[in-house]
Amino acid sequence: MYEKEIWRFKDSIEYEFKFKGEYGGKGSKRAVKVKPSPEQIEKANQRKRSKNMRRLLKANFERGDLWCTLKYPKGSRPSLEQIKKDLQNFRKRLKRKYKKLETDLKYIYRLEIGSQGGAHIHIVLNRPPGVDADLMIQEEWKPGRVNIEPVYDTEFRKLAEYIVKKPTEEVYEQLSFLPEEQQKEFIKFSSSRNLIRPEPEKKKYTRRTMERLIKNGPTPTEGFYIDKNSIYYGINPFNGMTYFYYTELKGEDSGSNLHKNDVESGWPPGRQTGSAPFFAN
């Protein structure tokens, strides 16, 4: 089996290759499957959630958009119903403002309880044009203050991990005081319905293509460079399949490009099965 997925975004392209055996050569066999432990399964599922969220962010938001924390006054303990009502009113007011600016409001949010029991809301928003967005958002969140940071990571990796993260033990302790159905509201994320749901291009390739890729390294698309830190190569122990993954970033080489010298001096890269995004598949 020789399959690859290509995920195209505004400023990057992701490639995922699946193949059997060491190099995908003729007669190669996949590695022996390993029965995963519950902890390994949960870790792999968490990686997959993070990867899916990263791609959702990349498909809908860009550098300069807004990462906001909507807060309540210190010491206040609003009910879940009140939090949801406040958030609904906030979104309605923002939507009207965005419409006047001839822009659709896009968002992804997650309700959260802190280790001391204080409720707040994390939300990613697309930046509206032609206005002081920070001031507008602060004016429309009536219950309290708002912390606002620009989205600066074009890969959205850290932001994705934060949105889908599991609560800490201290937070779980605070959640334990709530009914089970309410606890779920502080663990999941929600989004606007108008988001683009990215899908990959799926293609077949030959074993010779894979042999060249493994032996010589990937070649970037014109106008892009390969982020060396994104390259992962190894075996998925759950299904025994070998994988190869890398990301191209748009623009000029910023010092992370994959050069011919890199290939000649140390190619292929060492196996990194424990941290590779493909490990989650």
* pLDDT tens per residue across span 76-125: 889 999 999 999 999 999 999 999 999 999 999 999 988 778 899 999 99
> At residue 169, does pLDDT exceed 80?
yes
Range(s) of the chain covered by CATH 3.30.70: 59-191
> At residue 176, does pLDDT exceed 90?
no
pLDDT digits (tens, 9 = 90+) for 246-281: 999 988 765 545 443 343 334 445 444 333 333 333
Query: pTM for this structure?
Result: 0.84
Q: What pLDDT is attached to residue 278?
A: 34
CATH architecture of 59-191: 2-Layer Sandwich (3.30)
Q: What pLDDT is attached to residue 3?
A: 86
Three-class SS state of 278:
helix
Percent helix, strand, coil in the chain (nearest 5)?
Answer: 35, 20, 45
What is the pLDDT averaged over residues 146-154? 86
Burial class (CB in 10 A: 0-12, 13-18, 19+), 79: exposed
- The residues that bridge with 107 in the sheet, in sequence order, are 125
36, 72, 235 from 33: Cα distances, Å: 9, 50, 10
Which has the closest alpha carbon to 165: 126, 229, 112, 118? 112
